Amino acid sequence: MKVDTHTSHNDAKEHSEGSVPKDQIFPTLLGSLGEHRELTFFNYHIIDLPVILYDKENGFSFYSNLHSMEKDGKYVYSSTHKIVKANNPNETPTIDLSPSSLVCFQWLAILVLLIAFFRVGRKCKKNPLAPPKGLHNIIETVVLFLRDNVVLPNIPNKTLAYKLLPYFVALFFFILLMNLFGLIPGGHTATGALGTTAGLALTALLVINGTAIKQIGLKNWLKHLLGGAPWYLFFIMVPIEIISIFTKPFALTVRLFANMTAGHVVLLSLVGLIFYLNTLIMAVVVVPFSVFMYALELLVAFLQAFIFVTLTAVFTGLAIGEHSHETH
């Protein structure tokens, strides 16, 4: 799932060279929240991202950027910010595997986490009895907090809780880093895309139901779809139970996406008012409130990562508890 609100390098250059029309102030600011086919820092172009397409007619196609793609002649980039076939503007490639700006920030979060945990793990192996300091102290504090206040209280099986602990720790830090990157001036919030939050929710769906199936077996898990009702009501209960299974990850998807996007929309809208009204008096009002909103977003970045992990642990514990009770 990809939302492409691409602003071309030429458009960015035009905005940087001249003033943005009054009616384009808010679209320009809010357009920076979406996914782009280039990496930018504010209006400064850093690098064009490669284009990777698959189509039944042309097979796989690899291009260094949009310009080289259009030069090849098979595809063009339309005015609606979509890649379409050159010989049929109404038809798009079968699959678009091109990395976007938000995907790059996901990779950056993964890279930072790998480096941080590798360094901390290496120090622990060298001197396991040494008191934690600096980054080691921060990570250990968060891990112990998640273990004692999120995972163990919600997952009844202690052995299983410790097996799932690395997943919950990685999930928390990964979401937190993506949230914080969006608060860096010129950065992008990867969790502000439905594709990102849906991918995270999909992992939660697999963990919740995969854990339940492993604990009680597939046969007992399928029996649970009746919800305790008589077998002849299966045509009513089974659809309801299946809907409930997918409702939980859907709620996780929308909750994280909406909370991380809403704050950015409000903040950018406040900044846009200064340029739209074109008065210094408005800045006196907007700037303090924007600072408050920024501090609130910083709190939300931590809070939403914690809520996502907590709800996933709660759903996992409920699935195990319900299934285990029914099995006995």
Contact 123, 134 (CB under 8 A): no
pTM: 0.83
**pLDDT tens over the chain, length 328 residues:** 333 444 444 444 444 444 667 666 666 666 667 778 888 776 677 888 899 999 888 889 999 988 899 898 889 988 777 888 888 888 888 898 888 888 999 999 999 999 999 999 898 888 888 888 888 899 999 999 999 999 999 998 889 999 999 999 999 999 999 999 988 877 788 898 888 999 999 999 999 999 988 887 887 787 777 766 677 777 788 888 888 889 989 999 999 999 888 888 888 888 788 777 777 777 888 888 888 888 999 999 999 999 999 999 999 988 886 544 444 4
Q: Sort residue 20 into left (φ over 0), alpha (ψ -120 to 50) or beta.
A: beta
Residue from 184, 23, 188 nearest 103 by CA: 188
Read off the DSSP letter of residue 127.
-
Contact 39, 47 (CB under 8 A): yes
